[in-house]
Structure 1
Amino acid sequence: MLMATDLLAMLHRLELTPTAINVLSVMVAQQQPGGAVPLRQAEIADLLNVDQAVVSRAMALLVRRGIVQRSGAGRGHRYALNPAIAGYESEHEMSTELTKVLAAGGPPPIQVPQYRRRPPRAGKGRLQSVA
Structure 2
Amino acid sequence: MSSAPVPGFHNPEIFEVLPNACLSPTARDVFDILSARQHPGGLVRIRQQDIAERLGLTQPVVSRAIGQLRDKGILSERQRKGEVLIHPLLAAYESLSHMTNHLKSPDTFVWPLNFPTGDVRPPRARDARTGTSFDPDPDDGEDSPTPETPPALRLAG
- The TM tier, using the shorter chain, reads 0.7 to 0.9
Distance in structure 2 (CA, Å) of the matches to 1:51 and 1:43 = 10
Confirm or deny that 1:83 pairs with 2:88: yes
2:112 to 97, 109, 112: 109
Q: Which runs of 5+ in 1 are unaligned?
A: 122-131
RMSD: 2.4
- Number of matched pairs: 114
SS at match of 1:34: coil
Structure having the higher Rg: 2
1:95 maps to 2:103? no
State yes or no: 1:2 paired with 2:9: yes
- Segments of 5+ residues of structure 2 without an aligned counterpart are 1-7, 117-121, 127-157
Deviation (angstroms), 1:50: 0.7
From the two aligned structures, give the one with the greater helix fraction. 1
Question: What displacement does 1:70 show?
Answer: 3.7
Aligned to 1:127: none
What SS does the corresponding residue of 2:115 show, helix, strand or coil? strand
Do the aligned residues in 2 keep the contact of 1:68 with 1:80 (CA within 8 Å)? yes
SS of aligned partner of 1:79: strand
Which structure shows the bigger proportion of residues in strand conformation? 1
CA 1:40 to 1:24, structure 2 compared with 1: closer, same or farther past 3 Å? Answer: same
On the 8 A contact 1:71/1:78 being kept in 2, the answer is no
Kindly indicate whether residue 16 of structure 2 is the aligned counterpart of residue 13 of structure 1: no
1:92–1:7 Cα change, 3 Å: closer
Contact 2:45 2:82 in 1 (8 A): no
- SS in structure 1 at match of 2:84: strand
Residue 66 (str. 1) matches residue 73 (str. 2): yes
Matched with 1:128 is none
In structure 1, give the amino acid aligned to 2:113: I
Secondary structure of 1:68's aligned partner? coil
Select 2:48's aligned residue among 37, 41, 50.
41
AA at the equivalent of 2:53: D
TM-score, with normalisation over the residues of structure 1?
Answer: 0.75
Q: Distance in 2 between matches of 1:5 and 1:88?
A: 12
